[in-house]
Copies of this chain bind each other. A is one copy, B any other.
Amino acid sequence: MQTQRTRSYSQALHEAIEQEMTRDSNVFVMGQGIDDFKGMYGTTKGLVERFGPNRVFDTPLAEEGMTGIAIGAAMAGMRPIHTHIRMDFMLLAMNQIVNIAAKSHYMYGGAISVPIVIRSVIGRSWGQGAQHSQGLHSLFMHIPGLRVVAPTTPYDAKGCLIASIRDDNPVMFVEHRMVHFQTGHVPEESYTVPTGQARVLAKGDDVTIVGISHAVVECMRAKVCLEQVGIHAEVIDPVWLSPLDVDTIANSVERTGALLVVDSGWTFTGASAEIVAAVGERLQGKKVFKFQRMGFAPVPCPTTKNLEKQYYPDAAGIASSAFSLVRGSKEHWKPEIVDAPEILEFKGPF
A-side residues, CB < 8 A to B, are: 64, 88-89, 91-92, 94-95, 98-99, 102-103, 106-107, 129-131, 134, 138-139, 141-145, 242, 244, 266, 268-274, 276-278, 280-281, 284-285, 288, 290-293, 298-300, 302, 329
Contact = CB atoms under 8 A, between A and B. Distances in A.
A107 B129 contact: yes
Contact of A99 (B88, B95, B106, B144): B88
A268 B142 contact: yes
A273 B141 CA distance: 12
B276 A280 contact: yes
Kindly report how many copies of this chain are found in the complex they form together. Answer: 2
Contacts of A242: 268-269
The 5 closest A-B pairs by CB, nearest first: A141-B269, A273-B277, A91-B95, A276-B277, A269-B274
Contacts of A268: 141-142, 144, 242, 244, 274
Contacts of A129: 107
B300 A291 contact: no
A92 B274 CA distance: 25
Given A92-B64, A141-B268, A266-B144, A291 B299 contact: no
A98 B106 contact: no
Contacts of A131: 99, 103, 107
Contacts of A273: 269, 273-274, 276-278
Given A280-B276, A284-B290, A130 B106 contact: yes
Nearest to A265: B142
